[in-house]
Amino acid sequence: MIVPPDSSAAPRHRLLLLIALAGGIVLLALPVVLSDGRKLLAIVAQIRAPLLVLPVAFMIASYVAMSRSYQGIADAAQCRLPFRDWIRITFVSNTVNYLVTSAGLSGFAVRMYLLGQQGVPSGRAVLISLVQTFLTNFTLFFFILIGFATLVLGHRLPPAALAAAGGAVVVFTALLAWCIVLIYHRQLRRRTLFLLADAGHRILRRVVPRWTPRRVRLWRFQHNLNEGLEFLFARKDRIVAPAAWIFLDWFFMMGILWAAFHAVNCPVSPGLIVIGFAVGIALSLVPLVPGGLGIMDVSMTGVFVSFGVPLEHATLAVLIFRVAYYVLPLLTSLFLFHGLMRQATRSMASPTPAI
């Protein structure tokens, strides 16, 4: 039975998106409004323009490393595509996330579509993306752990901040240790993934029942994820290089923020860069506004200010990060890969068949 689409759903969705965008813009402007205008202008006048090349260079290096990680995993899965195709797919699938509020799932869907256009079977496309996503998140946990450990060991923190950072070290150490246990214990891994999928369905059904996917979809997703992990662990020697590229990808992304602070003449310790970056990126995945507009910027700025960075310097550095990490790749996709971008947006607009 085909259910006719709700004619009021699209206008309501657009209205909610406009409200979210307006809220994001207000949040984006909030640090500027709270800053001392004279100090802000003085810092802008003192920005070392040649150093602004560094955030752009780090952004390009990040996308190259990300593309190489996808290519390495695809080669291990015997799906060989030229590097130039991976650059295009990586730019477009990631920048779609800056236009659609979906917690990163839109980029995943677009990547599936673009790989299908290249003749990659859907099962292999899902496997490649899931393996890359697992390695990416595992590496992010590692960087967060290093960042918090650096703050605990290398900074004199107030008691409350020290307790929070110490607790974070314990939590992320436990998460990484648990991931390593799951690598070597197949039955425990399957059971854990099943329980996570079932718990996720129960929570979504209580919180957002209208948008909760059918239970079979989540079961299929956890099955695909387990297959991806089996593939990963069976080819450890072939995954070393992609894992190294993912490490470099995160390193270059945080390098954008590091270079931004140097450009505004306010160097920040690497540990604090990791913490501010991790908090901002995590919150940018909340499916409220595209690219976490405003949410990421305020959270990053708040983290840096809470550790003693002047508000004006933090505001400008985060703004430079926003332009280098979000705006420039989006413009690159729109102008250099406009044909592929059109295909991607059409694939997002087309209805998805129910499972």
The identity of residue 260, as a single letter, is: A
Most distant CA pair in the chain: distance in Å? Answer: 65
pLDDT tens track of the chain, all 355 residues?
Answer: 334 444 444 565 556 556 666 666 777 777 877 777 788 888 888 888 888 899 999 999 999 999 999 998 888 878 888 898 899 888 888 887 666 554 445 566 777 777 877 777 777 777 787 778 778 877 877 777 777 777 677 666 666 666 766 777 777 777 777 777 776 777 777 777 677 666 666 766 665 555 555 666 666 666 666 666 676 666 677 788 888 999 999 999 999 999 999 999 888 888 788 888 877 776 766 555 655 676 788 888 888 888 888 999 999 999 999 899 888 988 888 887 777 777 666 655 554 433 3
Residue 146: C-alpha distances to residues 140, 170, 272, 279, 337 (Å): 10, 12, 10, 14, 36
Whether residue 301 contacts residue 329, with contact meaning beta carbons closer than 8 Å, is answered with no
pLDDT at 290: 59
Nearest to 259 by CA among 331, 193, 325, 213: 325
* Residue 112 covered by a domain: yes
Whether residue 111 contacts residue 93, with contact meaning beta carbons closer than 8 Å, is answered with yes
* Residue 119: DSSP 8-state: T
Whether residue 32 contacts residue 40, with contact meaning beta carbons closer than 8 Å, is answered with yes
* Residue 12 covered by a domain: no
pLDDT at 163: 72
For 235, how many CA atoms within 13 A lie in the half-sphere containing its CB? 20
pLDDT at 319: 92
The identity of residue 80, as a single letter, is: R
Structural domain containing residue 45: 37-349
Give the integer Cα–Cα distance in Å for 343 and 125: 17
pLDDT at 262: 92
Give the integer Cα–Cα distance in Å for 82 and 103: 29
Whether residue 251 contacts residue 61, with contact meaning beta carbons closer than 8 Å, is answered with no
Whether residue 101 contacts residue 17, with contact meaning beta carbons closer than 8 Å, is answered with yes
- Burial-class residue 306 by CB neighbours within 10 Å (0-12, 13-18, 19+): middle
The identity of residue 38, as a single letter, is: R
Whether residue 234 contacts residue 103, with contact meaning beta carbons closer than 8 Å, is answered with no
**How many domains in the chain?**
1
Whether residue 98 contacts residue 290, with contact meaning beta carbons closer than 8 Å, is answered with yes
* Residue 353: DSSP 8-state: P
* Residue 255 covered by a domain: yes
Using CA of residue 193, residue 194, residue 199, residue 200, what is the dihedral sign? positive
* Residue 23 covered by a domain: no
* Residue 27 covered by a domain: no
Give the integer Cα–Cα distance in Å for 326 and 332: 10
Give the integer Cα–Cα distance in Å for 311 and 35: 6
* Residue 22 covered by a domain: no
Whether residue 153 contacts residue 270, with contact meaning beta carbons closer than 8 Å, is answered with no
* Residue 278 covered by a domain: yes
- Burial-class residue 275 by CB neighbours within 10 Å (0-12, 13-18, 19+): buried
Give the integer Cα–Cα distance in Å for 149 and 155: 10
* Residue 13 covered by a domain: no
3-state secondary structure of 306: helix
pLDDT at 256: 94
List strand residue ranges (DSSP E) for 215-270, in order: none
pLDDT at 5: 45
pLDDT at 91: 86
